[in-house]
Amino acid sequence: MSTISFEPRVPVVIVKPILYGNTAKHFGSKRDSDGHTHRWTIYVRSLNNDDISTYVSRVQFRLHETYPNHNRMINQAPFEVEESGWGEFEIQITIFFLDPNEKPVIFYHHLKLFSTDPEVVTGKRPFVNEYYDELVFQEPS
Ligand SMILES: O=C(Nc1ccc(C(=O)N2CC(c3nccs3)C2)s1)[C@@H]1CCCN1
């Protein structure tokens, strides 16, 4: 008589390294029209430039409420927002996943525009302010 044995499903952990943060570039002078001084980009991307759209459905960037449409939802890669301004403030980043069983993940990033690095000040080097983190998934979810 044949017996059926059910192997226990050993959970598999999948780790996806990501970077989130901002770049910034000074206009060179204060813009007369609105007083803005910097162009900046806030972003979420994979550490190794692979396509995070294979598991990320959309990313929300909540800017300061003085920005029009300050809750920016980005529904496709690249998951980033480019804006301009004059100051630094906290941006809430929410990452939503394709897997409906995976809860969204929230990061907080303090937008940084100013640097004392002479090479950044002179524009010889771009200003990058980014952080490493990991999205961890358990299969089956
Ligand atoms: O700077 C700071 N908060 C800021 C909030 C918004 C900023 C900005 O740059 N904005 C461009 C402008 C726009 N209005 C309409 C369309 S865009 C809004 S700056 C704080 C204050 C002390 C230290 N940091």
Predicted complex ipTM = 0.96
Ligand 1 within 6 A of 88 CB?
yes
Ligand 1 atom nearest the C-alpha of 68 is: 16
Q: 81 CA distance to ligand 1 centroid (A)?
A: 15
SS3 content of the chain, % helix, strand, coil (to 5): 5, 50, 45
8 Å CB contact between 16 and 45: no
Helix, strand or coil, per DSSP, at residue 12: strand
Please write the tens of the pLDDT for every residue from 11-39.
899 999 999 999 999 998 999 999 999 99
Please write the tens of the pLDDT for every residue from 54-82.
999 999 999 999 999 999 999 999 999 99
pLDDT of residue 10: 87
Please write the tens of the pLDDT for every residue from 104-124.
999 999 999 999 999 888 778
Ligand 1 within 6 A of 133 CB?
no
Pocket residue to mutate for ligand 1, from 62, 89, 109, most atoms within 8 A of Cβ? 89
Banded model confidence at residue 89, pLDDT cuts 50, 70, 90: very high
Ligand 1 within 6 A of 39 CB?
no
Helix, strand or coil, per DSSP, at residue 78: coil
Ligand 1 within 6 A of 107 CB?
no
CB proximity list for 108: less than 8 A, separation 6 or greater = 90, 91, 92, 93
pLDDT of residue 1: 74
As a whole number of angstroms, the distance between CA 65 and CA 84 comes to: 14
CB proximity list for 80: less than 8 A, separation 6 or greater = 41, 42, 43, 44, 45, 74
Ligand 1 within 6 A of 70 CB?
no
Q: 102 CA distance to ligand 1 centroid (A)?
A: 33
Q: 86 CA distance to ligand 1 centroid (A)?
A: 6
pLDDT of residue 124: 81
Vertex 56, ends 103 and 42: CA angle to 5°? 105
